[in-house]
């Protein structure tokens, strides 16, 4: 059956068509739509599938992996930095293995579109000594998902599927199974303490020996099933191109665009590789070029004097794949001597086009809360550690000084408070991130008596990745305030208001409490909403639209530098203007934001959707 | 066939909707296509562009100097993507009269002004600009009937409104 699908939906269908009936994980761009896709299919076809988000990636992996130990076909989904969180579980699971099937989907983000690192999950698979499959297109993503589930069950070991953003978020017509005859698996835990409870040294040492042997067996499988058939069809000549994932599609198009011909081998499984067999094929060529992203995973395994790639400075080492980069690599090794057809004609517009830097959505309560925090805790006397989520975009307002990884704001607030006690440390973290990994560092700060302010921005959703549910929202709702109180400290609570003075007044109270405190964190939860949350936003947004009184606007830049709402910009008269199509009607700018009160209610404002 | 379209705008303008419409058009004629989205971390109000490559392609990204058409739902976003337009390509753009002159064919309409005057609701801006592209790009790969069918398939509930806007754009460009 032909169907137009995005890569992540293709993976979701692949899981269902492979009879995977336990899926867990944690949202993270570009992986998020896989699990929500399974949830949609489950609902549509009323399938008996467990498909729920875990509290974090490690928890998600462990829930799924236990299912795989007990004979189920299971899958955990996450983004590449999420795998860092799950890695402790993965490294041991790679020794212990599984009876059913364990597919780990770790989606990479070459080009840093929405990630703090460009790390290559294939290298992580190599580190863990588990096989990894690298799809080139949504069609591959569907096929390799099914393949990965089968291989995991065959070799009794977790298998990784590593799609990149250009696969996850690509769209094409794919060919998939005509019907869905879903057969759930019977879960049956079989006691085998020496295996499931392997203890150092002897137990794990024995599993380590098995692991080494297994890697050899899988490398041979890789040769017999995926590589030999391709090498058998190769002609030999000037250049052999070995590629995987998106590199394959980019390479093929570049060759066509330039009218060049070369043997191209697509590596389906970048680890483990049958190194000797591959290297033996190099005899028929002058040079071998490796095209892969983002790290030289294949290149380092098959390093050889004829091999060119990132480590020989032939292929670009950072940023995502581009045909222009492959063209340049062809030039460097003398395979192409023509011009750069991917160079844009130089156009002088006579002015620079204003960028649209990342910003919080119009109407987002985070903006107002940051504004209020900065009104009370002044920049000069404060340090603002923050965290990973939509609220990271508060950096545009000057409301954030440092970012590291999920949950780090809390422990870094501890560290800053010790290192520079002359400053007020005010950390911000969202509710999703707090649940994910903000609780242990808060516990640490309380028992160590670290003095800082922690503001938990609770919009009751994981907003940045597409508004997945948080533990406060489903099943047995869990309240952040009670978690904090359970650790023995007060949790100040504030309900966000579009009357800015109420937010500012609240943070004045927070500062009073903090100033009086001598030890331990001052913890605050601000109840907010997400402006894009269809279920909740309409209960909170006042639909009060705003215009600018041009006689009052003195072009002081306050709103464009500290408040930073996307609809606000200067018009040709040098006055602030509000873009009617972007204003969300949140009324947040009516108080305090403008020193001359130039923002006024517009009764005749263009109403969206009317 | 080989045809590459970049659609540029900002979050909330319905850039992805247009890609889906073109994808359905291609699918209905059984032509292969690959599409992708480019956006950073911000959602509403952040820069968004989508690439759609119709025909025999093996990766979804449009390189510089390759696009046949750019549909710019926003003036600045159209200019920020101009490197992708090939020599001889067409820029279809929603912009005011002060839009700079470019070494390409330009089909410019001030669709914001039309929406403000009440000609159509602002949510229809994307479909309006698709109508402008249909009317002004000679080698556009799909006919108005094909686009109307695709819009019907997308969401029959709002299709009539969108088809009206599409037709309005075509008439305005005559």
Q: Do B60 and A393 touch (CB under 8 A)?
A: no
Average pLDDT score over chain A:
96
pLDDT in tens, A348-359: 998 999 888 888
Q: A400 CB contacts (<8 Å, ≥6 apart)? A: A384, A385, A386, A392, A394, A428
- Cβ-Cβ contacts under 8 Å, B46 against chain A: 356, 358-359, 566
Nearest to B42 among A173, A253, A393 (CB): A393
Homologous superfamily of the B2-172 domain (CATH): Pyruvate-ferredoxin oxidoreductase, PFOR, domain III (3.40.920.10)
Residue contact A356–B10, C-beta within 8 A? yes
Q: Chain B 101-140, CB below 8 Å of chain A: which residues?
A: 102-103, 112, 115-116, 121-123, 125
Give the model's pLDDT for residue A608. Answer: 47
Task: Judge whether A298 lies within some domain.
Answer: yes
List chain B residues with CB under 8 Å of A264.
Answer: none
Distance CA A336, CA A260 (A): 8
CB contact under 8 A, A361 and B44: yes
Statement to judge: residues A579 and A548 lie in one domain: yes
Domain limits for position A483: 365-535
Q: Find out whether A261 and A236 touch, Cβ atoms under 8 Å.
A: no
Write down the pLDDT at residue A610.
Answer: 40
CA distance to partner chain B, nearest, from residue A288 (Å): 22
Of the candidates B23, B29, B147, B154, the residue with the CA atom closest to the CA atom of residue A173:
B23
Count Cβ–Cβ pairs < 8 Å, chain A vs chain B: 150
pLDDT score for A568: 94
Test the A interface: residue of B30, B42, B98, B118 with most A CBs within 10 Å: B42
A173: nearest CB among B13, B32, B125: B32
Find the CB nearest A344 among B10, B26, B64: B64
Give the contacts of A569 (CB within 8 A, at least 6 positions apart): A560, A576, A577, A579
Task: Work out the number of other CB atoms within 10 angstroms of the CB of residue A422.
Answer: 6
Residues A37 and A164 in one domain: yes
Which residues, 6 or more positions from B77, have their beta carbon under 8 angstroms from its beta carbon? A356, B8, B9, B10, B47, B48, B49
Separation CA B169–CA B165 (nearest Å): 6
Query: Between β-strands A170-175 and A2-6, what pairing exists: parallel, antiparallel or unpaired?
Result: antiparallel
Question: Whole-angstrom Cα distance, residue A392 to residue A430?
Answer: 9
Q: Which of A248, A322, A358 sits opposite B41 (nearest CB)?
A: A358
Give percent of chain A with pLDDT exceeding 70. 99
A199 falls in which pLDDT band (50, 70, 90)?
very high
Chain B: residue nearest A467 by CA? B43
Residue A231 pLDDT > 80: yes
> Mutating which of A164, A353, A388, A604 best tests the B interface, going by the most B Cβ atoms within 10 A?
A353
Q: What sign for the dihedral angle of Cα A163, A166, A170, A175? A: negative
The answer to whether the Cβ–Cβ distance between B45 and A353 falls below 8 Å is no
Q: What does the block give as tokens for A1?
A: 């059956």
CB B26 within 8 A of CB B89: no
Where residue A475 falls among pLDDT bands split at 50, 70, 90?
confident
| Closest Cα in chain A to B84 | A344
pLDDT beyond 90 at A154 = yes
Structure tokens at A136: 């080139």
Domain stops at, among A332, A352, A378:
A332
* Segment A481-501 mean pLDDT: 98
Q: How far is B112 from chain A (nearest CA, A)?
A: 9
Q: What is the CATH number of the domain that holds A50?
A: 3.40.50.970
Instruction: Find the helix packing angle between A80-96 and A121-128, rounded to 10°.
Output: 20
Three-class HEC string of A164-220: EHHHHCEEEEEECCCCCCCCCCCCCCCCCHHHHCCCCCHHHHHHHHHHHHHHHHHHH
| CA A266/CA A264 separation, integer angstroms | 6
Q: Which residues of B touch A137 (CB under 8 A)?
A: 34, 58-59
What single-letter DSSP state applies at residue A157?
S
Rounded CA-CA distance A48/A62 in Å is: 20
Instruction: Taking residues A457-476, report their average pLDDT.
Output: 90
Residue A342 lies in a domain: no
Instruction: Provide DSSP, A319-371.
Output: S---HHHHHHHHHHTTS--S--TTPPPP---SSPPPP----PPTT-HHHHHHH
Residue A582's domain is classified under what CATH number?
3.30.70.20
Asked whether the beta carbons of A148 and A34 are under 8 A apart, the reply is no
Q: Could you read off the pLDDT of A232-269 as tens digits, one per residue? A: 999 999 999 999 999 999 999 999 999 999 999 999 99
Closest by Cα among A335, A185, A23 to A8: A23
pLDDT for A607 equals 56
Phi, psi of B27 (to 5 degrees): -60, -40
Q: pLDDT band for position A581 (50/70/90)?
A: confident
Kindly state whether residue A343 falls inside one of the protein's structural domains: no
| Chain A residues in contact with B66 (beta carbon < 8 A) | 342
Domain membership flag for residue A347: no
Strands (E), chain B: 2-10, 33-39, 47-55, 67-72, 85-94, 105-109
CB contact under 8 A, A355 and B43: no
Closest by Cβ to A252, choosing from B34, B58, B66 = B58
Say whether both A183 and A233 belong to one domain. no
Q: What total number of domains does chain A contain?
A: 4
Q: What confidence category does residue B56 fall into, taking pLDDT thresholds of 50, 70 and 90? A: very high
A71 and A163 inside one domain: yes
Asked if A291 and A333 touch (Cβ cutoff 8 Å), the reply is no
Per the structure block, which two tokens stand in for B109?
């309409």
User: Residue A609: pLDDT above 60?
Assistant: no
Residue A529, pLDDT score: 97
Give per-residue pLDDT as tens, A328-382.
Answer: 999 999 999 999 999 998 899 989 998 888 889 999 999 999 999 999 999 999 9
**Is the same domain home to A317 and A422?**
no
Per residue, the 3-state secondary structure of A36-82, as one string, reads HHHHHHHHHHCCCCEECCCCCHHHHHHHHHHHHHCCCEEEEEEEHHH
Report which of B71, B14, B77, B10 is spatially closest to residue B43, judged by C-alpha positions: B10
Of A341, A567, A580, the CB nearest to B65: A341
| pLDDT of B2 strictly over 90 | yes
**Burial class of residue A279, CB neighbours in 10 A (0-12, 13-18, 19+):** middle
A15 with A142, same domain? yes
Same-domain check for residues A423 and A527? yes
Establish if A40 belongs to a structural domain. yes
Tell me, yes or no, if B28 comes closer than 8 A to chain A by beta carbon: no
Between positions 78 and 107 of B, the ones with CB within 8 A of A are: 79-80, 82-85, 87, 100, 102-103
Q: What's the whole-number mean pLDDT along residues A402-429? A: 98
Pairwise CA distance, residues A276 & A425, whole Å: 56
- With respect to residue A313, please indicate whether it lies within any of the assigned structural domains: yes
CB atoms B58 and A136 under 8 Å: yes
Taking 50 as the threshold, does the pLDDT of residue A94 lie above it? yes
Q: How confident is the model at residue B40 (pLDDT cuts 50, 70, 90)?
A: confident
pLDDT grade for A606, boundaries at 50, 70 and 90: low
Residue A360: inside a domain: no
Please report the pLDDT score of residue B39 as a whole number. 82
CA distance A112 to chain B (A): 9
- Same domain? For A144 and A25 the reply is yes
Considering only CA atoms, which of B135, B36, B130 is closest in space to residue B84?
B36
Are A375 and A368 spatial neighbours (Cβ–Cβ below 8 Å)? no
pLDDT confidence bin for B158, thresholds 50/70/90: confident
pLDDT confidence band for A552 (50 / 70 / 90): very high
ipTM of the complex model: 0.95
Report DSSP state, residue A378: -
Q: What is the pLDDT of residue A189?
A: 98
Judged by average pLDDT, the poorest of A548-552, A557-561, B44-48 is B44-48
Mean pLDDT of A582-591: 94
Nearest to A397 by CA among A435, A352, A367: A367
Residue of B nearest to A255 (CA): B58
Percentage of chain A beyond pLDDT 90 is: 94
């Amino acid at each position: 059956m032909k169907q137009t699908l995005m890569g992540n939906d293709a993976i979701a269908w692949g899981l269902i068509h492979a009879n995977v009936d336990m899926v867990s994980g944690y949202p993270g761009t570009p992986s998020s739509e896989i699990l929500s896709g399974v949830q949609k299919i489950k609902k549509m076809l009323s399938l008996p599938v467990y498909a729920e988000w875990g509290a974090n990636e490690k928890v998600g992996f462990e829930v799924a992996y236990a299912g795989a130990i007990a004979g189920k076909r299971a899958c955990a989904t996450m983004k590449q930095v999420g795998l860092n969180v799950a890695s402790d579980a993965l490294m041991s699971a790679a020794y212990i293995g599984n009876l059913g099937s364990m597919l780990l989907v770790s989606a990479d983000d070459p080009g840093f579109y929405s990630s703090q690192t460009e790390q290559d999950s294939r290298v992580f698979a190599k580190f863990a000594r588990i096989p990894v499959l690298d799809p080139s297109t949504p069609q591959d993503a569907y096929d390799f998902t099914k393949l990965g589930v089968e291989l995991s069950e065959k070799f009794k070991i977790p298998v990784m599927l590593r799609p990149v953003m250009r696969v996850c978020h690509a769209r094409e017509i794919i060919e998939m199974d005509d019907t869905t005859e879903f057969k759930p698996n019977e879960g049956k835990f079989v006691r085998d303490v020496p295996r499931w409870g392997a203890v150092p040294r002897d137990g794990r040492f024995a599993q380590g020996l098995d692991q080494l042997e297994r890697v050899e067996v899988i490398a041979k499988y890789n040769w017999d099933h995926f590589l030999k058939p391709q090498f058998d069809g190769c002609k030999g000549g000037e250049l052999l191109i070995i590629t995987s994932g998106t590199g394959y599609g980019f390479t093929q198009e570049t060759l066509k665009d330039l009218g060049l011909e070369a043997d191209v081998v697509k590596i389906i499984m970048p680890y483990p590789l049958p190194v000797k067999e591959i290297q033996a094929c190099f005899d028929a060529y002058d040079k071998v070029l490796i095209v892969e992203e983002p790290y030289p995973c294949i290149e380092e395994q098959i390093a050889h004097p004829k091999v060119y790639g990132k480590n020989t400075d032939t292929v670009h080492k950072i940023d995502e794949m581009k045909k222009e980069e492959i063209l340049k690599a062809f030039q460097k090794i003398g395979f192409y001597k023509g011009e750069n057809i991917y160079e844009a004609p130089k156009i002088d517009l006579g002015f620079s086009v204003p960028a649209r830097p990342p910003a919080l959505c119009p109407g987002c309560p985070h903006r107002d809360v940051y504004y209020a925090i900065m009104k009370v805790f002044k920049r000069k006397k404060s340090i603002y550690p923050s965290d990973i989520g939509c609220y990271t975009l508060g950096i545009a307002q000057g409301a954030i000084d440092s970012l590291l990884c999920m949950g780090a704001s809390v422990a870094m607030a501890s560290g800053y408070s010790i290192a520079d006690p002359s400053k007020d440390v005010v950390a911000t973290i969202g509710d999703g991130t707090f649940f994910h990994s903000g609780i242990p560092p808060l516990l640490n700060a309380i028992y160590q008596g670290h003095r800082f302010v922690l503001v938990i921005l609770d919009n009751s959703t994981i907003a940045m990745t597409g508004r997945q549910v948080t533990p406060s929202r489903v099943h047995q709702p869990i309240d952040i305030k009670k978690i904090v109180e359970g650790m023995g400290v007060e949790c100040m609570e504030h309900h966000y208001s579009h009357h800015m003075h109420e937010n500012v007044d609240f943070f004045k109270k927070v500062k009073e409490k903090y100033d009086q405190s001598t030890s331990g964190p001052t913890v605050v939860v601000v109840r907010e909403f997400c402006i894009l949350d269809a279920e909740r936003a309409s209960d909170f947004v006042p639909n009060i639209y705003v215009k600018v009184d041009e006689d009052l606007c003195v072009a002081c830049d306050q709103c464009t530098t500290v408040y930073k709402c996307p609809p606000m910009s200067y018009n040709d008269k040098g006055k602030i203007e509000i873009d009617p199509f972007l204003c969300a009607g949140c009324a947040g700018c009516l108080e305090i934001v403008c020193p001359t009160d130039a923002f006024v209610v517009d009764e005749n404002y263009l109403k969206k959707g009317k | 066939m080989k045809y590459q379209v970049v659609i540029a705008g900002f979050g909330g303008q319905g850039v992805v909707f247009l890609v889906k419409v073109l994808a359905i058009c291609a699918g209905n004629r059984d032509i292969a296509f690959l599409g992708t989205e480019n956006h950073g971390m911000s959602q509403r109000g952040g820069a968004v562009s989508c690439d759609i490559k119709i025909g025999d392609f093996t990766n979804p990204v449009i390189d510089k100097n390759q696009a046949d058409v750019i549909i710019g739902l926003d003036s600045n976003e159209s200019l920020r993507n101009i490197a992708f337009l090939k020599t001889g390509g067409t820029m279809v753009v929603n912009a005011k009269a002060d839009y700079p002159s470019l070494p390409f064919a330009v089909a410019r309409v001030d669709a914001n002004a039309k929406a403000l005057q009440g000609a159509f609701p602002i949510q229809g801006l994307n479909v309006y600009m698709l109508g402008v592209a249909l009317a002004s790009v000679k080698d556009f790969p799909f006919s108005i009937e094909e686009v109307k069918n695709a819009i019907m398939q997308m969401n029959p509930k709002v299709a009539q409104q969108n088809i009206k806007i599409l037709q309005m754009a075509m008439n305005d460009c005559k």
